[in-house]
Amino acid sequence: MNIEPTDIPGCHIVQANVLRDTRGTFVKTFHSDRFEELGLRTDWREEYFSTSVRNVVRGMHFQNPPADHAKMVFCLVGEVLDVVVDLRVGSPTFGRSVGFTLSAENGRGLYLPSGCAHGFVSRTDLSGMYYKVTSVHSPEHDAGIAWDSIDFDWGVAAPVLSPRDQAHPKLPDFQSPFMFEGR
């Protein structure tokens, strides 16, 4: 497993080794010693998975303090364009968005620190995402920003959105409760 920093401080690509044979694949997505060596959180509290059809956009999601969390995501089926936005006031990349192709084929995952919004668009007829988070879901702290209010080309003209994702405030209207801790 190789873990590399991205342009957003604290956000890392997790490149798993994908072992393939005639039966299929085997992929290790987490190794506590390696994560701790890099100062990444390993106190996972919940895990989820979602499936999405082509052109579904989910995001941009996060939880506000005190229920904020670090998150790790992998695409186990199909392919997604995964997007991160830094919402930490004082961060050198505050408001910046970056995208990464995650797929079952490439074995790539993404680790996001607290204070980053997360979303993705499904690029295949079916995609399946797996999430690990460091806090328990808290509906009263659950939040998001509008997917189309960030400076990012999603590559989809007519996305499929949930009512919740359609109602998120735009990034310029969002008052961030997150502070950059300089890591």
Residues 6+ apart with CB under 8 A from 76: 49, 104, 128, 129, 130
Q: For residues 149-172, b (16+ Cβ closer than 10 Å) or e, as one string?
A: bbebebebeebebeeebeebeebe
Active site residues: 61, 131
Region for residue 177 given its phi and psi (left: phi exceeds 0; alpha: psi -120 to 50; beta: otherwise): alpha
